[in-house]
Amino acid sequence: MQEKSARILSLSNIEEHITITDGELPSESKVEDVYEALIPEKSLLDRDMVIGKTLTIGEGESQFQVKPVGTFIVKDTNDPYWTLAPNSYSEDFIIAEALFKNDLLESNEALLKTGKFMTAFDYRAFKSTDIPKLLNLERRVNVEISEMMETIILVDLKAQDILSSYQQKGAQLKTMLWSLNVPILVMLAIYIYMVSRLIVRRQLNEMAVLASRGAKRTQILFIYFIEIAILGLLAFVIGPYIGLQFTKLLGGNEWIFGVC
C-alpha cells in the first residue's frame, strides 16, 4: 500500500503525554529497513489502516517503508504540550525522535520541510528582569539558527506585545516614582542638615572642655566619627527590617480596605 501525501515526523517526549490504545511504542531503530510509527487512534479508521501492515511513503528515490505499530490518545487535552490538536497528525506517521534525528534526518536532510520548537511559559512566574531576555528571544533565535543553516525562521511569542507594553509602563512608573521621591529626599537632606547643626551647637561646650584639656581637633573629630559610625551601623542593620515590617503593615491595611 502506498501513501504519497503522508509525512514522517517525530515529537519530543511524546510517550509522556499519550496513552497507547492498541499496539506498542515504535522502535528507536529501523526493523528490517522499515520505520515503525505511531498514529492517532482516529486516523486508523479514517485511513482504513491495519496495525502491523507496511506502507510505502513518497515517490521515486524518496520512498520510505513505514509500519504503524501503535495507536494513541492524549492523556490530557488541556496539556500545553499539544500546541496542535492531536487529530492534526491524522495524516502523519510519528516515529521515535532518536530514529528521526540519527537516521532519517542524517541521510535525508534536504527533505526536511518544517522544524518547530515550542515552549509553554508559566506567565505567573515571570519577573521584570526576564522581560528584556524574552523580548530579545526572536533576535537570538534568528542569529543562532542562521549560523547553522539558511532557512526561513518564524518566532511567535504570544506575550510579546503585553511584555513590551509592561516594560514601557514600568519605565513610566519608575520615572513617576522618582519624581515623587526626589522632593522627599531633598527635604530629608535639609532636615538632617538642620538637626546636625543643632546637635553641634548643643555640644559646643563639650568640645570646648575637651579642647581645654589638650584634645586636638582631629581627636575631637575622631571621637564624633566613632559615635556616628556606631549609630550608622545600628541604623544599617535594624533600619531595613523595621522598614520592611512597616511596609508589610501598610500593604496589609490596604488589602483589608480593598476587601471591605
pLDDT average per 10 residues of sequence, the chain (260 residues): 70 90 90 90 80 82 85 88 82 89 77 72 79 82 73 72 83 87 90 86 83 84 87 90 82 47
Domains of the chain, by residue range, sit at 2-120, 121-185
Residue 48 burial (CB count, 10 A)? 8
- 8 A C-beta contact, residue 67 and residue 53: yes
Spatial distance between the Cα atoms of 35 and 62, rounded to a whole number of angstroms: 14
Spatial distance between the Cα atoms of 128 and 20, rounded to a whole number of angstroms: 42
The whole-model pTM stands at 0.56
Question: What pLDDT score was predicted for residue 96?
Answer: 92
Helix/strand/coil for 101: helix
